[in-house]
Structures are given as structure tokens and as C-alpha cells.
Amino acid sequence: MLRIARLYIALVLVFLYLPIVVMAAMGFNASPLYALPFEFSTRWYQDLAGNDRLIEAGWNSIWLAVLTSVLATVFGTLAALALWRRSFRGRNLLRILLLPPIAIPWLITGTAMLVFFFWTGIGRGLHAMLIGHVALAIPYVVLVVGTGLQTMRADLEEAAMSLGSTPVHAFFRVTLPLLLPSIVGAALFAFAVSLDQFVISYFLSVPGMTTLPVEIYSAIRKGFTPEINAISTILLVASMIIILGFARFARPGGLGDSR
């Protein structure tokens, strides 16, 4: 039975990672049509260096994801502290209302945001995409940080205050360090949600100012080029480095614990 379980897990991992490996490998194939046998070449990375439109879209995605991660983490963490550490009327209802934005199809959310932003005068562009990405990422942050708060002893902060610490000092010296792995994990989650977001970016972008997923979609409609494999591989490696660094130093849930 154990062997069957291991085989099942191995097959799932192969199913998940094999397409990514093929994509990265074909970024180094000299043929633009993925012809075999494989011939190693860095041609597509050299062409990518001269593709200003694709590089600009990549930078837009990165900066948008960074800003989304910072803003969503700040607002989401504050909301999680209020929802899990304070008692007030309607708290359970607010917790329930965090789930629909995650469950509602992004196509409907994107349409609603487009109509609302035009109605309020916000319009379209990077600023509108930032608002949309932050709004979508906050529920994930609240849930991740809230889970961390549930697993943390609340009386530790009270014990610090009973020993003479102020509430602010107790929060920054006791609660925040214990909650930091959850906060970092939530920030990475928000970064990934923003970087991968296509529908909201597609609805709220303007010509000449798009994100990488939108630019890739447009490029595929015109004719696929392995330059897309190249820039996707670069972003994939960068994301993996960030996640592995978090797992190594933050040790969420005991990851990396050598004991």
C-alpha cells in the first residue's frame, strides 16, 4: 500500500512539473518549432534581450506583484488581527465574506471591476490593476495570517504586558516575531496571485501598458515564439529562489527543521 501511495505521489509530481521542465528546455532549443533532435542554443535569450515590449511587460508584472504583496500584506495582516483577536458584532459574517472573492470566477470579478472603475472615474491602467490585484490578494493574506494566529498562544502577549510591557511593545517583541513566518508566507502568496493574474490585468490594462500574462496571451494569438519560454523560465527560477529562501530561513510549519 505504501508503494502505491509513493507511486501515486510520484505520478502527481511528474504531471505537475514535466510541462514546466519541457518549457524551460525548449527555451534552449535552437528550433523555433521545437523540432527534434534537441540542439542547444541561447538564441531565444539573446532575442529576448532585444524584445523591449516583452521585457517591459515583465517588469510591469514584477513591480505590480511587489506592490501588491506589500499593500495586501499590510492591510490583510491588520484585518486578520482584528478578525481573530478582537470580538465585535458581525465578526463571523466578515470572516464568511472573505470566501466569495476567492470562489467567484475571476471573469465575473474582472467584469465587475471594469464597470465599477469606469463608473467611479478610476479608469484603466497600472493603478487600476494594482487596486484590483490588492483587492484579490487581501482575502488570501487574511486567511494565511489568521491561520497563524489560531496556532499561536494569545496569552503570551498578555504575559508580556503583565510584566510591564506596553501593548505596542508586546506586539512587536512577542506577537510579530511569532507571526512573521505566516506574514512572509502570506506575502509570497499575494506575490504569486498578482504575478499569475491574467483576467483582471486583461480587463484593466491599456494598450502599451500590460503585464506579462497579457502580453504572452497577445503574442500567442499573433504567433508563438520561444522568447516566451525564455522569460517564463527566468521568472520561474526567480520565484523558486524566493520560495526556497523562505522555506530555508523562515521554516514555516517546521520546514527545514533538522531536529
| Chain segment 138-176, per-residue pLDDT in tens | 998 998 888 888 887 767 776 777 777 777 777 777 778
Percent pLDDT > 70 in the chain is 93
**Residue 225: pLDDT above 80?**
no
Question: What confidence score (pLDDT) does residue 256 get?
Answer: 43
Contact of 186 with 56, CB cutoff 8 Å: no
Question: What confidence score (pLDDT) does residue 249 get?
Answer: 52
Residues near 176 by beta carbon (within 8 Å), at least 6 away in sequence: 183
pLDDT band at 248 (very low <50, low <70, confident <90, very high): low
pLDDT band at 258 (very low <50, low <70, confident <90, very high): very low
∠ CA 221-218-208 to the nearest 5 degrees?
A: 150
Contact of 205 with 213, CB cutoff 8 Å: no
- Give the chain's mean pLDDT: 81
2-39 pLDDT, tens digit each: 888 888 899 998 988 888 888 888 888 877 777 777 78
Q: What is the DSSP letter of 37?
A: S
> Helix crossing, 52-85 with 212-222: angle to 10°?
140
Cα separations in angstroms, 162 against 81, 86, 165, 228 = 20, 19, 7, 58
Q: What is the DSSP letter of 41?
A: -
**Residue 255: pLDDT above 60?**
no
pLDDT band at 86 (very low <50, low <70, confident <90, very high): confident
- Would you list the domain boundaries of the chain? 1-41, 53-254
Q: What is the mean pLDDT of residues 172-191?
A: 84
Question: What confidence score (pLDDT) does residue 25 get?
Answer: 84
Which of the listed CATH numbers 1.10.3720.10, 1.10.10.10, 3.40.50.12280, 2.60.120.10 matches domain 53-254?
1.10.3720.10
Which residue stretches of 86-166 are H helix? Answer: 91-96, 100-103, 106-120, 126-150, 155-162
Cα separations in angstroms, 87 against 84, 150, 166, 177, 184 = 8, 14, 21, 23, 26
- CA dihedral 23→24→29→30, nearest 10 degrees, is 100
pTM of the entire predicted model: 0.79
**Residue 59: pLDDT above 80?**
yes
> Helix crossing, 176-196 with 52-85: angle to 10°?
140
**Residue 64: pLDDT above 60?**
yes
